Amino acid sequence: MISLEGVTYSYMPGINALDHIDLNIGAGELVAIVGENGAGKTTLVKHINGLLKPSEGRVTVCGLDSKAVTVASLARKVGLVFQNPDHQLFAETIEKELSFALVNFGLPPDEIKRRTEWAISEFELSQYAGRSPFMLSGGERKRLALASVLCYGPEVLILDEPTTGQDNRQKVRMASLLHKLNQQGKTVLVVTHDMEFVSDYIPRVVVMSHGRVIADGQSGDVLVRRDILERASLVPPQLAEISWELGLDPPSIRLDDVVARLAKLIGGAKA
Ligand SMILES: Nc1ncnc2c1ncn2[C@@H]1O[C@H](COP(=O)(O)OP(=O)(O)OP(=O)(O)O)[C@@H](O)[C@H]1O
Ligand SMILES: [Mg+2]
């Protein structure tokens, strides 16, 4: 579904923001991309929706070579929600923001109305109807940016730092929405610094550092590797730290697992 082969990209000559990236993501996967500031995460996802084209190597999405298609045709298949919502929002009202792409794609008015109303209710924005997107709080603007992409139903959804500025209730809602979309068969990529969010909700994680992929695997295996977390300047999930402190081998990021093994340790100590 998404394939990067030897992808290298430089904004400035001599400095590679992406350095020979090989990565495959299958249809219907839910994947986190993590790494230190400047690791290349945003640059990578901009290659997947065609905003940037590789200096070397190849990116294919849904069988299309990103260099051979227009940004507009790829963007319809790959919805990218920007790290900073102010780089995405522009319309006078929330409703116009949500319906903009739908009008452009030529959807019938009753379908546009249905989708816009769905988004307003799903993202709890109804009290702000009719207002300018710029009168919303940072967290609300972020939800509106996500809603406006979801409205046009791309096959691949990429969220750049979706949980930044979201309170816990919104994070839990976001996680359940991502799972729902994933169950509907969408491929979902989440760029984040929030390791607890990844360990709780996202099954696969790709770790980037200095423009390279330094680890890729099941979150339960990758997020307990101290060397990798340190290299990419990531905060370990709390349960990984507890596992290390307790000397659990192998360490775990699952609460039920850690509790069961702790109970065993205590039971063993009593006996
Ligand atoms: N428009 C640009 N012009 C020049 N250099 C850039 C540009 N955008 C990013 N870079 C550089 O490319 C590298 C990768 O940046 P990128 O934004 O992809 O990192 P990131 O992993 O998304 O970081 P963050 O966690 O801070 O969002 C950095 O060294 C950055 O300074
Ligand atoms: Mg970024």
Residue pair 123/95 in contact by the 8 Å Cβ criterion: no
| Average pLDDT value for the chain | 92
Q: What is the pLDDT of residues 219-247, one digit of tens each?
A: 999 999 999 999 999 999 999 999 999 89
CB atoms closer than 10 angstroms to residue 81: 23
Q: Is 17 in the pocket of ligand 1 (CB under 6 A)?
A: yes
156 bridge partner residues: 78, 187
pLDDT over 70, % of the chain: 99
Mean pLDDT score, 117-127? 90
Q: How far apart are CA 28 and CA 31, in angstroms?
A: 10
205 CA to centre of ligand 1 in angstroms = 20
Show the beta-strand stretches assigned E in 135-200.
156-160, 187-191
Q: Is 46 in the pocket of ligand 1 (CB under 6 A)?
A: no
The CA distances from residue 191 to 20, 43, 82, in Å, are 19, 11, 10
Cβ of 54 less than 6 Å from ligand 1: no
Ligand 1 within 6 A of CB of 37: yes
Q: Among 88-102, 130-144, 165-179, 256-270, name the one with the lowest average pLDDT.
A: 256-270
Distances in whole angstroms, Cα of residue 268 to Cα of each of 63, 100, 271? 55, 63, 5
Residue 84 C-alpha to ligand 2 middle, in angstroms? 9
Taking residues 196-212, report their average pLDDT: 96
Whether residue 189 contacts residue 206, with contact meaning beta carbons closer than 8 Å, is answered with no
**Residue from 81, 76, 206 nearest 152 by CA:** 76
Task: Kindly state the average pLDDT of the residues 73-82.
Answer: 90
**Ligand 1 pocket, 102 CB below 6 A?**
no
* Closest ligand 1 atom to Cα of 208: 21
For 245-256, what is each residue's pLDDT tens digit?
989 999 999 999
Per-residue pLDDT reduced to its tens digit, 11-27 = 999 899 999 999 999 99
Residue to probe by mutation, ligand 1, list 8, 19, 42, most atoms within 8 Å of CB: 42
| Cβ density class 181-191: b for 16+ within 10 Å, e for less | bbeeebbbbbb
Which residue CA neighbors atom 30 of ligand 1 most closely? 38
Distance CA 236, CA 229 (A): 7
Query: From ligand 1's centre to the CA of 48, what distance in Å?
Result: 15
Span 184-203, average pLDDT: 95
User: For residue 63, what are its two tokens?
Assistant: 């069988």
Output the pLDDT for position 271: 57
- Ligand 1 mean position, distance from CA 231 (Å): 17
CA 202, distance to chain mean position in Å, is: 10
- State the distance from the centre of ligand 2 to the C-alpha of 252, rounded, in angstroms: 28
**Per-residue pLDDT, 183:** 92
Domain ranges of the chain: 2-223, 237-271
In this predicted structure, the answer to whether residue 84 has a pLDDT above a threshold of 90 is no
Is the pLDDT at 270 greater than 80? The verdict is no
CB 34 within 8 A of CB 195: yes
Residues 58-83 have a mean pLDDT of 91
Mean pLDDT of the region 37-66: 95
**pLDDT value of residue 269:** 67
This prediction's pTM = 0.92
Q: Closest ligand 1 atom, CA of 193?
A: 25
Return the CATH number of the domain spanning residue range 2-223.
Answer: 3.40.50.300
Give the end-to-end CA distance of the chain in Å, rounded to a whole number. 53
- The pLDDT tens digits of the residues spanning 88-121 come to 888 999 999 999 999 988 999 999 999 999 999 9
Neighbours of ion ligand 2 (CB under 5 A): 41-42, 83
pLDDT, tens digit, 9 for 90 and up, residues 133-159? 999 988 888 889 999 999 988 999 999
Segment (H or E) for 267: helix 255-270
Q: Looking at ligand 1, which residue's alpha carbon is closest to its atom 26?
A: 37
